[in-house]
Amino acid sequence: KTGVETTWARDGQESIKLYQQHKDIINLVLLDIKMPKMDGFQVIRELKKMNPSLPVIAQTAYALANEEYMIYKAGFNGYLVKPITLHSLIQIISKHIGS
Protein backbone atom coordinates (compact mmCIF):
# COMPACT_ATOMS: atom_id res chain seq x y z
CA LYS A 1 0.00 0.00 0.00
CA THR A 2 2.81 2.44 0.76
CA GLY A 3 4.89 1.76 -2.33
CA VAL A 4 7.98 1.35 -0.16
CA GLU A 5 10.59 -1.13 -1.35
CA THR A 6 12.78 -2.80 1.25
CA THR A 7 16.11 -4.58 1.31
CA TRP A 8 17.23 -6.79 4.17
CA ALA A 9 20.74 -7.63 5.38
CA ARG A 10 21.75 -10.60 7.53
CA ASP A 11 24.42 -8.74 9.49
CA GLY A 12 26.24 -5.45 9.88
CA GLN A 13 28.86 -6.08 7.22
CA GLU A 14 26.23 -7.02 4.66
CA SER A 15 24.24 -3.88 5.45
CA ILE A 16 27.23 -1.71 4.54
CA LYS A 17 27.78 -3.61 1.29
CA LEU A 18 24.09 -3.29 0.37
CA TYR A 19 24.17 0.44 1.03
CA GLN A 20 27.28 0.85 -1.13
CA GLN A 21 25.59 -1.04 -3.98
CA HIS A 22 22.24 0.76 -3.75
CA LYS A 23 23.04 4.15 -2.20
CA ASP A 24 21.36 6.01 -5.04
CA ILE A 25 17.96 4.52 -4.20
CA ILE A 26 18.12 4.07 -0.41
CA ASN A 27 16.31 6.91 1.38
CA LEU A 28 16.33 5.58 4.95
CA VAL A 29 17.97 2.78 6.93
CA LEU A 30 16.42 0.85 9.81
CA LEU A 31 19.35 -0.54 11.74
CA ASP A 32 19.27 -3.04 14.58
CA ILE A 33 21.64 -2.25 17.43
CA LYS A 34 22.54 -5.90 18.05
CA MET A 35 23.72 -7.67 14.88
CA PRO A 36 26.31 -10.30 14.03
CA LYS A 37 29.76 -9.27 12.74
CA MET A 38 29.23 -5.52 13.34
CA ASP A 39 26.78 -3.90 15.72
CA GLY A 40 24.57 -0.95 14.83
CA PHE A 41 26.96 1.57 16.37
CA GLN A 42 29.80 0.36 14.15
CA VAL A 43 27.59 0.32 11.06
CA ILE A 44 26.19 3.82 11.53
CA ARG A 45 29.71 5.25 11.68
CA GLU A 46 30.43 3.75 8.25
CA LEU A 47 27.08 4.79 6.76
CA LYS A 48 27.41 8.38 7.97
CA LYS A 49 30.92 8.59 6.48
CA MET A 50 29.39 7.70 3.10
CA ASN A 51 26.30 9.90 3.50
CA PRO A 52 26.05 12.20 6.54
CA SER A 53 22.48 13.20 5.67
CA LEU A 54 21.15 9.62 5.42
CA PRO A 55 18.34 9.09 7.94
CA VAL A 56 19.25 6.06 10.08
CA ILE A 57 16.75 4.74 12.63
CA ALA A 58 17.88 2.39 15.40
CA GLN A 59 15.85 -0.67 16.30
CA THR A 60 16.36 -1.84 19.84
CA ALA A 61 14.85 -4.22 22.35
CA TYR A 62 15.70 -1.80 25.15
CA ALA A 63 14.30 1.62 26.01
CA LEU A 64 16.70 2.51 28.77
CA ALA A 65 17.65 6.18 29.12
CA ASN A 66 21.36 5.38 28.77
CA GLU A 67 20.82 3.54 25.50
CA GLU A 68 18.67 6.39 24.16
CA TYR A 69 21.54 8.79 24.89
CA MET A 70 24.03 6.47 23.16
CA ILE A 71 21.75 6.12 20.12
CA TYR A 72 21.49 9.87 19.56
CA LYS A 73 25.15 10.47 20.38
CA ALA A 74 26.11 7.89 17.72
CA GLY A 75 24.22 9.87 15.08
CA PHE A 76 20.97 7.96 14.75
CA ASN A 77 18.03 10.13 13.69
CA GLY A 78 15.57 8.25 15.89
CA TYR A 79 14.80 4.84 17.29
CA LEU A 80 12.08 2.21 17.50
CA VAL A 81 11.62 -0.07 20.49
CA LYS A 82 10.79 -3.72 19.81
CA PRO A 83 8.26 -5.07 19.35
CA ILE A 84 7.76 -2.51 16.60
CA THR A 85 4.19 -1.60 15.77
CA LEU A 86 3.03 -0.73 12.27
CA HIS A 87 1.88 2.67 13.52
CA SER A 88 5.27 3.58 15.06
CA LEU A 89 7.12 2.33 11.97
CA ILE A 90 5.02 4.39 9.55
CA GLN A 91 5.19 7.41 11.84
CA ILE A 92 9.00 7.48 12.03
CA ILE A 93 9.45 6.76 8.32
CA SER A 94 7.04 9.57 7.44
CA LYS A 95 8.90 11.95 9.73
CA HIS A 96 12.18 11.36 7.93
CA ILE A 97 11.25 10.82 4.30
CA GLY A 98 7.78 12.34 4.01
CA SER A 99 4.50 10.69 3.17
* Numbers of helices and strands, H then E, in the chain: 4, 3
Position 97 confidence tier, pLDDT thresholds 50, 70, 90? confident
Rounded-to-integer distance, Cα 82 and Cα 98, Å? 23
Q: How far apart are the first and last CA of the chain?
A: 12
Position 29 confidence tier, pLDDT thresholds 50, 70, 90? very high
For 41-70, what is each residue's pLDDT tens digit?
999 999 999 999 999 999 998 767 788 899
- pTM, two decimals, is 0.91
Residue 93 CA to its chain's centroid (Å): 10
| pLDDT of res. 98 | 67
